[in-house]
Chain A
């Protein structure tokens, strides 16, 4: 079954009323008729309407969405699963929420950067129009500010790694929490700095927010060796880091050697095309027993993608191991979880095909 949006919090009275008139609509739901008037009224799943599309940089837009039901809230730094139809096909993607959870207009925002090889981000970047209805899935992620924000904070971001951190900054600024914050941000070009103006304005308004911006086409990339120079007391700060894998690796190494790893919080960003960064194996032959099709994975390609390349239609949802829409029963063989590199698999086990690659020959009931 394809993935659905999150179940909205609907007043109990309304749910009961809908349940009562179900006798008149069965096997359809009252929702099916109410949606003719307004698709946001669905009580089955949370939906939202795109209110505005704001160009942030030559490569990124902010999409402002009004949820159909009251927004249950998110913690700054979390991401949202968003479902949207592109060329007739429904796709799900995860995007960091960039909005303050307490936005007075009740809207939420995401700020995708276009990945030209992808399917959804080019659509959001060029073609989506206000008024489009989207599905809103669950809010997830553990890269979040603690409930009581620490006194001293250090943010390190690079490129679109700014997005979860923006939600944190906006939330802190809104609640007077920008007490002592150092923010080191890198971008390739000056044009490409997402939220450039807002960051500058924050720094002007709050002297306790110190922004160090690096343009890496002109300046040196920020690395662990410059920490002392940029923020002498980094060891004492709760640090939130989001950017490419290389930066994350280098920094976490430094914290391990020289600071306290418990104080370093990191968000891994995964490009559309690649699943996880776990160790790769040799791959192998995949037999899809129900469709009678054979496919091969090189070890980096998940079973799902390999099957699709061989021309069969397989169930899928998030493509990142969250929603379990893609599961199939393993008949034989072992697989490798591409996120962790762990090799596993027992006959009869339900496997997520989107995050597992074969480790030798496998047979799967799909």
Chain B
């Protein structure tokens, strides 16, 4: 077998690459940048304390109060204003639980507290993904191999052509359509994605493991269905149907929001993807640079960042996945300063622009061809 055949079929051989900012840095610069970022990490971790612990506890409390308020209001869901207020409150609660709490706790961001109740190993979230499988596919695979084509399965989630390097296939003609479906049922998409179809097909994952993981998804599905579509509707008695639609709506709202925020993390135009070759023999500093170039932020205010689970600081999150999310906003100026000094881009923009480019890409790459979009160049402070 020749070398080209051995390459993964998803990788179409190549365009003339725009020179990646990574290539402009000397190995010494990359190492120096790595040391600077390590110092940022260590400084924050040495400073973690009461303030942070109060933050996560009060966020968790807020979530629980929102749930209680929502469920109470929805007991009277036949009354339109209560339906609206209850659905809004439940949607907010689910978003908070999914993004700022679940995702970040399961990343181990709060493990330093040594609290058994707020720990990556014991946490489970109100989505279809079983905690353990998600931690593997997300924390390990995606965060280690971020934006490496053929290795980061989150690049298009195995079902979408999100990067022009991916070989086109007629199935992608439908991707604008099934992307809409994925939006509404994102949590289920993620759960199935965690199973890792590639590994199942190649036999890397044993049948027993697959069955075990399917069962875990089944348990999570059953629990959500019982809670949102049977138990609470029954509690509303004559409001059964209206509570059911309220809960369904809240799940959809949460899914659409999560999908939008998460797709803005790596798929906006300005981000770079990498070949396996580029990422081989990568040092710690090189890893940092790849995370920087492969991620994109979303501008917004404190409330927006909270609801985005601080994934609107995707760059900072990818540099320091285990750092408490509440600290990203504090270190962002320092990361920007590093970008300025090393001539690296710092990809950020308002939600409508970032999301706009993502959906444009999904539409464009449904068809054959396409080239990487022009990149913004080094960060310049406004």
Please report A residues at the B interface, Cβ cutoff 8 Å.
1-4, 23-28, 32-33, 36, 45, 85, 87-91, 311, 313, 316-317
Contacts and interface: CB of A to CB of B under 8 A. Distances in A.
Interface string B48-72: 1111111000000100110110010
Nearest to B65: A36
Given A24-B231, A28-B126, A89-B114, 19 more contacts: A1-B116, A2-B116, A25-B227, A26-B126, A27-B124, A27-B126, A27-B220, A28-B64, A36-B65, A45-B116, A85-B53, A85-B113, A88-B48, A88-B49, A88-B113, A89-B53, A89-B112, A91-B114, A313-B112
B342 interface: no
Q: Considering the complex of A and B, which 8 residue pairs feature the smallest CB-CB distances, nearest first?
A: A88-B53, A27-B124, A90-B114, A88-B49, A26-B223, A87-B49, A2-B116, A4-B116
B115 A36 contact: no
Interface residues of B, number: 34
B132 to A, nearest CB: 13
Interface of B: 42, 48-54, 61, 64-65, 67-68, 71, 111-116, 119, 121-122, 124-126, 220, 223-224, 226-227, 231-232, 235
B111 A88 contact: no
24 contacts: A1-B119, A2-B116, A2-B119, A4-B116, A23-B223, A23-B227, A23-B231, A24-B227, A25-B227, A26-B126, A26-B224, A26-B226, A27-B223, A28-B126, A33-B67, A36-B61, A85-B53, A88-B48, A88-B49, A89-B53, A89-B112, A89-B114, A91-B114, A313-B111
Contacts of B232: 24
B119 A33 contact: no
A87 B227 CA distance: 37
A26 B50 CA distance: 29
Given A33-B68, A88-B50, A88-B53, A316 B227 contact: no
A148 to B, nearest CB: 39
A205 B36 CA distance: 69
Given A23-B226, A33-B68, A89 B61 contact: no
Which of B51, B71, B227 has the most chain A CB atoms closer than 10 A to its own CB?
B227
Contacts of A313: 111-112
A33 B116 CA distance: 17
A32 B64 contact: yes
A90 B50 CA distance: 11
A267 B323 CA distance: 42
Contact of B42 (A2, A4, A311): A311
A90 B49 CA distance: 11
B119 to A, nearest CB: 6
Contact of B115 (A2, A32, A311): A2
Contacts of B223: 23, 26-27
A25 B71 CA distance: 11
A85 B115 contact: yes
Nearest to B235: A24
B113 A27 contact: no
A92 B164 CA distance: 54
Given A36-B61, A88-B48, A88-B51, A1 B114 contact: no
Contact of A33 (B52, B64, B114): B64
Which of B64, B111, B116 has the most chain A CB atoms closer than 10 A to its own CB?
B116
A2 B231 CA distance: 33
A88 B125 CA distance: 23
A3 to B, nearest CB: 7
B83 to A, nearest CB: 19
Nearest to A27: B124
B77 to A, nearest CB: 15
Contacts of A24: 71, 227, 231-232, 235
Contacts of A45: 116
A88 B124 contact: no
A36 B232 CA distance: 21
Given A1-B116, A1-B122, A313-B111, A88 B231 contact: no
A235 B37 CA distance: 67
A87 B231 contact: no
A45 B65 CA distance: 22
A3 B114 CA distance: 8
A145 B120 CA distance: 42
B231 to A, nearest CB: 5
Contacts of B49: 87-89
Given A24-B227, A27-B124, A88-B52, A2 B64 contact: no
